[in-house]
Amino acid sequence: MRAPPDKITRGKTRPGRLRALDRWLLLLDPSPLSRPPGEDGAPVFVDVGFGEHLDTTVESARALRARHPRLRVLGLERDTDRLANAAERAREEGIELGQARGFGWEGPRADVARAMNVLRQHLPEDVAAAHASWSRHLSPGGLLIEGTCDRRGERLCAHLIRESYHGLTREGLLFHFGLESSFAPIMLRDYLPQDLRRKVKAGTRLGSFFEDWTAAWERTREGATTPWEAFARSARALRDVRADVDGEDALLEEGIVVWRPEGGVAPEPSRPGPSRAERP
């Protein structure tokens, strides 16, 4: 049964859960939160569905304002009780609050909008409509970050979606790995965005990406003394064989890999294809 657009999510969160996304935004150059010289108005960051507590929104506001001191931060929730409970802390932190309306909101257009763990209770076929609706609230060139993570934020995957005068582009996928007892690329599969979770199959571009990452991990994992070292070694080997992988050392230090396939991350049906051993 399809969840309605105004469905109240579970709202579970905890401090530090989305810190990797804050660090990634601070590494971006140029940043979508930077205003061109002479352009008026403060940049806007919108946190869609902050949950039972305002912790991750507050953390983002503090981190991003260190680089963008004029930043406006808007926290959204559908649940009126959560909005009421967050009001005092929001005032203290200079954060605006608003009520989400379906997959949208009333208020300023966002230069960056983040919607993490919002669609995990929806069906895959709901995702495209949610992306289209949220994107209508982005500034030209604005960025939508939508995906899923575990409860501590140690495994995280997110769509990177750009709005421009030419339309909406799903330009990449961001993968984050934190401190765990072990690492293998396939461990990130279950945290893919809702519309991609079952697309890691032979014959799809996403399937080929995971095959290449797994092969890189198998070549480099021997001798790794920590899970993070196994991750970093595999990511470096992956970027050596795939030109569509952002794996700069600054990203790897944060446990982040970004895949930007040519033409973007379009929805793709599963189809038969050659195994890794059969590929040229």
Per-residue model confidence (pLDDT) at position 164: 77
Number of structural domains found in the chain = 1
**Angle CA(60)–CA(120)–CA(32) in degrees, nearest 5?**
35
154-166 tens-digit pLDDT = 999 999 999 877 7
In a domain, 276, yes or no: no
In a domain, 236, yes or no: yes
pTM of this prediction? 0.90
Residue carrying the six token digits 């290449």: 212
Instruction: Give the residue numbers spanning the domain of 245.
Output: 19-266
Alpha-carbon distance of 146 to 11, in angstroms, equals 15
Distances (CA, A) of 112 to 28, 33, 125, 199, 225: 12, 7, 24, 27, 37
In a domain, 54, yes or no: yes
In a domain, 132, yes or no: yes
Sign, CA dihedral 228-233-237-240, equals positive
Tell me, what CATH number does 149's domain have?
Answer: 3.40.50
In a domain, 273, yes or no: no
In a domain, 137, yes or no: yes
In a domain, 238, yes or no: yes
**Ranges of the chain with pLDDT below 50:** 1-3, 270-280
Alpha-carbon distance of 99 to 106, in angstroms, equals 8
In a domain, 204, yes or no: yes
